[in-house]
Amino acid sequence: MIERIKRSELMSRVWEMKNMGYRLVTMSSVDNGEDIEYIYHFDKDLDMVNFAISVPHGENPESISGIYGSALLVENEIQDHFGVSFTGLALDFNGAFFLEDEVHRAPFCAMSIKRLESNAEGGE
């Protein structure tokens, strides 16, 4: 149901979805401990296509907001909740989309990590 793909294949697969006329439903993310899994959900005429990549903690995943503009909201949400930073994010709220600037925890991570370098002093 959810295909696991290599991280290097992500952009080409997302472009493929775009060119085939699929709508981005949303992204989901799961903290697996060693890594964070990002699941991409697409739909066309009620037919869903789902694939996922795994990215180790501490590494930044690539944003797909350059391909699907609507991804910027969910990617900002994931940044807030999982303490990650997407590279190439079209509109980056720097971890303060859902959370306030003074919040230093990533609440959805099993092990909380600091979100931003500038927050390092108060980070947990």
By the criterion CB under 8 A, which residues form the site for another protein? 1-2, 23-26, 28-30, 39, 41, 45-46, 48, 50, 68-70, 72-74, 80, 91, 97-100, 107-108
Which of 26, 123 has the CB closer to another protein?
26
Instruction: State the nearest-atom distance from the C-beta of 23 to another protein, in Å.
Output: 6
Which of 58, 107 has the CB closer to another protein?
107
Torsion from C-alpha of 51, 35, 79, 40, nearest 10 degrees: 0
Instruction: State the nearest-atom distance from the C-beta of 84 to another protein, in Å.
Output: 16
What are the backbone angles phi and psi of residue 116, rounded to the nearest 5°? -135, 150
Which of 10, 74 has the CB closer to another protein?
74
Give bridge partners of residue 55 from the DSSP assignment.
36
Instruction: State the nearest-atom distance from the C-beta of 41 to another protein, in Å.
Output: 7
Cβ within 8 Å of residue 21, ≥6 positions away: 44
Which of 8, 102 has the CB closer to another protein?
102
Torsion from C-alpha of 78, 13, 90, 27, nearest 10 degrees: -20
- Cα–Cα distance for residue pair 78/60, rounded to 1 Å: 12
Instruction: State the nearest-atom distance from the C-beta of 121 to another protein, in Å.
Output: 22
